[in-house]
Structure 1
Amino acid sequence: MSTLEEKRKYGEHREETVAYLATGQGVATVRISGDQVGRFGLAHRCRARDVATTDGAALVATDEDVLVGPDPFESLAFGPAVAVTADAAGTVVAADETGRVSRYDDGEWTELGAVEEVRALSAGLVAAADGVFRIDGDGLASVGLDDARDVASADGVPLAATGDGLYRLGNGWLRESEGSYTVVAAGDGKSHAATAEALYARGADGWEAVDLPAEGSVVDVAYGECVYAATESGTVLVEADPELTADGTGGWRSRSIGLPEVSALAVA
């Protein structure tokens, strides 16, 4: 498996984070230092549908294949894919348009099962039209719900974005917020979720709307040195702590990269 370019210094004091975006024109890379969105460009031309990172590699689901890169991007011989992720062990998992979910191991794909219209994969979880599923050994186990659009795990607890609300798995699924949610993400002790109209962050008092410096529907959120988000229209957003910003104020910053049809974001 190819490895990603190591983080390099951006200026004298700050490391650079590389963000990968799945877009209608290809895989875009965006280099970010603190809250400053720097150089960006297309790393690979294709119709990218999803992107994930694991163990220094970028994984991409395209309308032709699953790729691993970035130097160069190489085929994993899966065929057209709609979603890709890596499990806790770093093993690649992908899904196709028919709902087939498969694991890549030792150069071979093994089918784990099929569901109705995969919408998202996140580590060991599957969001599909017929609910949430967990990868259980060499198969899929239904966890419940309907019309799941996205899934994430917050400190080992599954979260699900669905057409009628945002759910957390406890003693059954507990609805934490009503509405038509399309995105949910968790990492570094933080959780975010989005509808077509707004981004929300989970705080001590529950889910609260975030005041973003740009318009557009947020399609994905990722975590690293900062919190990163992207809109469908091609705006990259960064929320940095005050000590990581040039003016010491912290908060959200944004920059348009001019590449529409963004569907996913991952950082290395």
Structure 2
Amino acid sequence: MFDAKEQRSSTLHPIEETSIIEEQFVQARYREEELTSSYGSHTLAFFGLAPENLHFLSPDGAGLVNYRLTSNVAVVLGDPVCAPQDVERVMHSFLDFCAEHKWHVAFYQTYPQYLNVYRDLKMHAFKMGEEAMLNPQTFTLKGSALANVRTSCRRAEREGVTIQWYEGVPPTEVIQQLEKLSNAWLKHKASASETGFSVGRLDELSTVAERADTIAARSRPSASSQSSAKKIVPRFLTAVALTSTGAPCAFMTFTPVYSSSTNADDSSESTGWGWTLDIMRRTP
């Protein structure tokens, strides 16, 4: 026999149930950001956190797959966000999840080191292009191949063009100036429009910069932390080109690329972090 009082005591009030769901969402979001800051070395990993995307957390919480559902196709943004040794297991979980929903799966912009894993899972690779990687510490404009770039740089210097950098959310007045510049650029480019998914949107600049700031703040070691490892967490960057009169004439944004986590016993500084060039706009 089931006591009515016991039944009442085990029934959640709608407000309590909503609170639990919200708490679960916050915990899942925190884990997604934690995985991204630890293993988001793919140039599209940060884009995957956009709220318009869907986020699959593996049952054990070891990995994250960011995707968007189009008809019955789950289009995944980059490789799974997890430790390298967990990639195959996380992919297995995600593919099983998609099979349950009778979805097809496509991974967009995967890295070469995981191609064998995809093939082992009966997936096929199609090369669409290559991604340029530059090391700012060694990059140079020397050489005949970059002669035109050097010429453009010298002309900009003669005309008094300077670059103003903003880390995090730019000031409101700067964002307003960039919006005017962007609108003029989009109007001039008849076929151009804001897209999203694997590239940013100017109307989301503040939100995206705040998201990067949140991840950076959570990734800082606490004062009580016993780890001596120094982890560098990049923030969102905006570069604005100014004419000699101080008016914006072009801008670029850079989204964070996170380094893979160092071994817990390794006190050396982690490497591999950087930025992905995202939005580029200029006066027509």
Would you say same fold, with TM above 0.5? no
Higher fraction of helix: 2
- TM-score relative to the length of structure 1: 0.25
Q: Based on CA coordinates, which of the two structures has the bigger radius of gyration?
A: 2
Higher fraction of strand: 1
> Which gives a bigger RCO, structure 1 or 2 (Cα 8 Å, sep 6+)?
2
